[in-house]
């Protein structure tokens, strides 16, 4: 998506050759016009599928997810990151190791929001090693819901998230695919 690639080049900052900082439009301050375009772009690919829910993880997945949900006219659920929820029978839970924070947290969604009737788009801001997406997929499986695709705003293709998800049979759609962040420069896969 050209508008996104332009924004990454103009406003993104490379940290440590494998982290891209995009806090001026996606992960802290949010650019609603860009999010709206992102929502339309993803939604256009899935209008003919019977998507019933968008599932994401707090906090940076929420903005793109809401705009996709708005376009498709379906609810958006975000998994919460909390510490000790394993004993609660009302929750679907999974463990996710955070690539940026280097901690493992328990994520959860209330059982009342996701059922075996649901057809889900899983959404996140970044794809690195695929752990957040796998955690969200696990929550969907616990509910018996069907995961139709994984929608990622920015994929770092030099990490193994896409191959991990594709090897498990999931469709991965990304709007920006980064092949390298070497020398503090962003290089996209054309």
**Interface contacts to ligand 5GP, rule CB under 6 A:** 19-22, 27, 60, 98-100, 124-132, 156, 161
DSSP 160: S
Q: Is 70 annotated as a binding residue?
A: no
Nearer to ligand 5GP, 106 or 124 (CB): 124
When the beta carbons of 96 and 114 are compared against ligand 5GP, the nearer one is: 96
Residues 6+ apart with CB under 8 A from 154: 4, 8, 20, 22, 26, 125, 126, 127, 174, 175, 176, 178
Provide the minimum distance between the beta carbon of 34 and ligand 5GP in the complex, in angstroms, as a whole number.
15
Q: What is the 3-state secondary structure (H, E, C) of 11-78?
A: HCEEECCCEEECCCCCCCCCCHHHHHHHHHHHHHHHCCCCCCEEEEECCCCHHHHHHHHHHHCCCEEE
Closest CB to ligand 5GP among 118 and 124? Answer: 124
61 belongs to an annotated ligand binding site? no
Residue 156 is labelled as binding a ligand: yes
What is the C-alpha to C-alpha distance for residues 184 and 129, in angstroms, rounded to an integer?
20
Confirm whether residue 131 is marked as ligand binding: yes
C-beta closer to ligand 5GP: residue 42 or 99: 99
CB of 130 to ligand 5GP, least distance (A): 5
- 149 a known binding residue? no
Per DSSP, 88 falls in state -
Does the annotation list 63 as a binding residue? Answer: no
How far apart (Å, rounded) are the C-alpha atoms in residues 178 and 19?
Answer: 11
Could you tell me how many residues make up the chain?
A: 190
Residue closer to ligand 5GP by CB (options 79, 91) is 79
Closest by CA to 107, choosing from 129, 78, 130, is 78
Residue 18 Cβ vs ligand 5GP, minimum distance, rounded to whole Å? 7
Annotated binding site for xanthine, which residues? 20, 27, 156
Residues at the annotated binding site?
Answer: 20, 27, 128-132, 156
Annotated binding site for 5-phospho-alpha-D-ribose 1-diphosphate: 128-132
């Amino acid at each position: 998506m050209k508008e996104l690639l332009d924004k990454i080049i103009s406003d993104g900052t490379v940290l440590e050759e494998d982290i891209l900082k995009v806090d001026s439009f996606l992960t802290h301050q949010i650019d609603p016009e860009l999010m709206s375009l992102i929502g339309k772009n993803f939604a256009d690919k899935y209008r003919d599928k019977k998507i019933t829910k968008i599932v994401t993880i707090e906090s940076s997945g929420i903005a793109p997810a809401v705009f996709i949900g708005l376009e498709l006219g379906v609810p958006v659920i975000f998994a919460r990151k909390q510490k000790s929820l394993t004993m609660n029978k009302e929750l679907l839970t999974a463990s996710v190791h955070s690539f940026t924070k280097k901690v493992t947290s328990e994520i959860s969604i209330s059982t009342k929001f996701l059922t075996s009737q649901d057809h889900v788009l899983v959404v996140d801001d970044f794809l690195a090693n695929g752990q957040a997406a796998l955690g969200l997929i696990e929550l969907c499986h616990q509910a018996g819901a069907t995961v139709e695709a994984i929608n990622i705003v920015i994929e770092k293709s030099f990490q193994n998230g896409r191959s991990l998800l594709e090897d498990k049979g999931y469709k991965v759609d990304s709007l920006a695919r980064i092949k390298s962040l070497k020398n503090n420069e962003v290089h996209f896969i054309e």
